[in-house]
Structure 1
Amino acid sequence: MVLMQVCTAINRTLLRRTVTLGNVQDIVDGFAEMGFPNCGGAIDGTHIPILSPPHLASEYVNRKGYFSVVLQALVDHRGRFTDIYSGWPGKVHDARIFRNSALFRRLRAGTFFPDRKITVGDVEMPTVILGDPAYPLMPWLMKPYTGKLDRSKDRFNYRLSRCRMTVECAFGRLKARWRCLYGKLDLGESSISAVISTCCTLHNICEGKGERFSEEWTSEVRRLEDEFAQPESRATREAQERASRIRDALREQFDAESQQ
């Protein structure tokens, strides 16, 4: 099949050179300008519609009722993919996918980012990534406060959300450029992941080269998103004590900055 030959060639020669972390200082500076210090990326998952698979089909039915596989992606401040992980069935929770990824293992081991810590208040903070409530709160993964929010927690959530928009926008631009990701891919599981990886690689090349992006594509994607709505993330309450101290210190710093 010509499609898979092309995808295999692109993934073999370009994927690791293109979907890569790049200059961490530039990324940290970019997110700092957006309001969040020592941030190395924003993470999220998105569902890619597929046809009913021949095996274990019920595992691929997501909370919106259609068959899908999940693409987990980390993006930089410009919306370029720096890490991708795809192929898990749509029924699986984002947190479980994350825990099974190489990204999780490298972040936990402290090997994904260079060792670059800052002090917030009296708390030491490593380079972090930003996630939504579906992800666990870790010293290296900040997520929003949930439940009853006061003004300072709202302010923290706003800053985090503003930076997390980069990954949502990246998914939108990815799907707008490569409409096959809304085409209920009629391929085997391994082939689907290869096509997704190829699209992510080409997305980074287009973004890096300043390739023209038509807003008409976005309006078409909105129509398709109505048909294949993204399932809402189920929040996880998992949080490490050290991570809570870092988040609280950031919240207090943001609060102090707002009063200057």
Structure 2
Amino acid sequence: MEDIHNLVFFLFAMWLYITRRRQALFERRLQAARRNTVEKMRRVWELMEEDTFPRRRRRRRQRMLHVLLKRRRRPSIWAVSRSNEWWDEVVPGFTRTEWVHHFRMSEETFLDMCGKLRPAMEKRDTNFRVCVPVKKRVAIALWKLATNSEYRSISHLFGVSKTTVCRCVREFCLAVCTLLVPQEIRFPDVDKLQEMAAGIEQSWGLPQCIGAIDGAHIPIIAPHEKHRDYINGRGWHSIILQGVVDRQGWFWSACAGMAGSLHDAQALRMSSLWQTAEEGRVFSTRTRNIAGVNAGYYILGDAGYPSKTWLLKPFPDDGQLTAEQQTYNETFRKARMMVTGAFSRLRGRWRCLTKRNDSDIEVVKSMVLTCCALHNLCERRGEEYRQEWDAVVAAPTPAVTPGQDGDEEEGEDVRGALMIFFNNLSL
């Protein structure tokens, strides 16, 4: 043990000696350089003060010397030469099928979206360099959202820097959240609620139902602060996306950014949907008598959500369900396919939701809401969805657990009335 201490002390002494030696050598060289500079300046002044030069030439040399001593190095502007051949020559020749394959939408939808986002994303040329056009900036962001490729790969493909790619993605998501999200994802009005309820009743026989709710875990890297709060039931970091869709699979409510460790019921209480529903501003606007119960509008949730008059869930399958309860659960399961299908298409079209995102949590949140808005935009315009996109291996979703934390057991009368309603229809 003493030998080890001696060896450590010897190595430390050697390192200290070498460091001091190098520092002393640097100081001597610096002093020598300063002395040489002073000597050169002295010789120059002596030369200009000699009488061999006429007075006019001596003054001119003095002015030149002052200018040389005070002159600052002029700044230089440069840019790396990058290839834009793919964007300038290949992309203009894309067919409609290639546009949908690469950007998840047709060129017509792409150009229409660029026109809507132009006020927020357009840049101006400067005296130093030409700005990246709006179309190219939007295309860069769509490529990132559709493929979740690395910034380096996208920069090589589009002929821009990695910093430009990152900036384009951030600004595109911010513009979409500001301009498109309020248009594409919004609470329905009274007429729209009635139309949605009629469509769902026609498709699955559920009266007064206006949609279904579900959640998804979006993989992220571990945040610097409170990273344990974002570890979900599967053991990896994520944020929660909570969405409500209608019969067509369009989102009319979306909330993202909650920590992955939260239960579905806890995430619901943190969303704006909970406050709006509890205040009765949406679901109680119109009631209907169902088997003797005045039921308002409601949405369908799984076992992880609390039972409310405006949020119904199936009967827990404990192996002792009655035939009426089984009929209710089967109808319930078929109707909830509208939300499972919507989330499947959302993840298939925008693969950034299925792979771990290395951006900041606020950026990931804006990306998730952007994907929801783009999903609605593509679905409304009838954009093609390819079944091959379903083959993407998505991150496994934590298992659904029954509601906890003192969930209110309301809405039992509405659920019982619907059970009677379904069984009367089957008679």
TM range (shorter): over 0.9
Q: What does 1:149-160 align with in structure 2 at a 5 Å threshold? A: 149-160=321-332
Deviations 1:181-225 (A, max 9, x none): 1221111111111000100000000000000100000112xxx23
Q: What does 1:189-228 align with in structure 2 at a 5 Å threshold? A: 189-220=361-392, 224-225=393-394, 228=395
Confirm or deny that 1:107 pairs with 2:266.
Answer: no
Look up the match of 1:26: 195
Look up the match of 1:169: 341
Q: CA deviation at 1:40?
A: 1.1
Choose from 119, 123, 126 the match for 2:289.
119
Mapped to 2, the partners of 1:60 and 1:205 lie a distance apart of: 30
Q: TM-score, normalised by structure 1?
A: 0.94
> Unmatched 5+ residue regions in structure 1?
none
Look up the match of 1:44: 214
Mapped to 2, the partners of 1:35 and 1:55 lie a distance apart of: 48
Look up the match of 1:76: 246
Mapped to 1, the partners of 2:255 and 2:211 lie a distance apart of: 15
Choose from 169, 174, 179 the match for 1:8.
174
The answer (yes or no) to whether the contact 2:283–2:310 under 8 Å persists in 1 is no
Mapped to 2, the partners of 1:78 and 1:137 lie a distance apart of: 24
> How many residue pairs end up in the alignment?
253
Q: CA deviation at 1:246?
A: 1.2
Q: CA deviation at 1:114?
A: 6.4
Confirm or deny that 1:17 pairs with 2:183.
Answer: yes
Q: What does 1:168-187 align with in structure 2 at a 5 Å threshold? A: 168-187=340-359
Confirm or deny that 1:85 pairs with 2:251.
Answer: no
Mapped to 1, the partners of 2:194 and 2:287 lie a distance apart of: 12
The answer (yes or no) to whether the contact 1:174–1:200 under 8 Å persists in 2 is yes
Q: TM-score, normalised by structure 2?
A: 0.58
Look up the match of 1:67: 237
Mapped to 1, the partners of 2:280 and 2:182 lie a distance apart of: 20
Confirm or deny that 1:250 pairs with 2:418.
Answer: yes
- Of 20-29 and 188-197, more deviation after overlay is shown by 20-29
The answer (yes or no) to whether the contact 1:103–1:112 under 8 Å persists in 2 is no
Greater gyration radius: 2
Q: What does 1:129-168 align with in structure 2 at a 5 Å threshold? A: 129-146=299-316, 147=318, 148-168=320-340
Change (3 A) 1:16 1:28: same
> Unmatched 5+ residue regions in structure 2?
1-166
Q: Secondary structure at the match of 2:342?
A: helix
Q: Which has the higher contact order (CA 8 A, sep 6+)?
A: 1
Mapped to 2, the partners of 1:209 and 1:113 lie a distance apart of: 28
Mapped to 2, the partners of 1:100 and 1:51 lie a distance apart of: 22
The answer (yes or no) to whether the contact 1:43–1:74 under 8 Å persists in 2 is yes
Mapped to 2, the partners of 1:239 and 1:52 lie a distance apart of: 33
Look up the match of 1:229: 396
Look up the match of 2:160: none
How much identity, in percent, do the aligned residues show? Answer: 33
Q: Which ranges of 4 or more aligned residues in structure 1 deviate by more than 2 Å?
A: 237-241
Letter in 1 for 2:260: G
Deviations 1:80-127 (A, max 9, x none): 000001101111101001011110111111112461100111111010
Higher strand share: 1
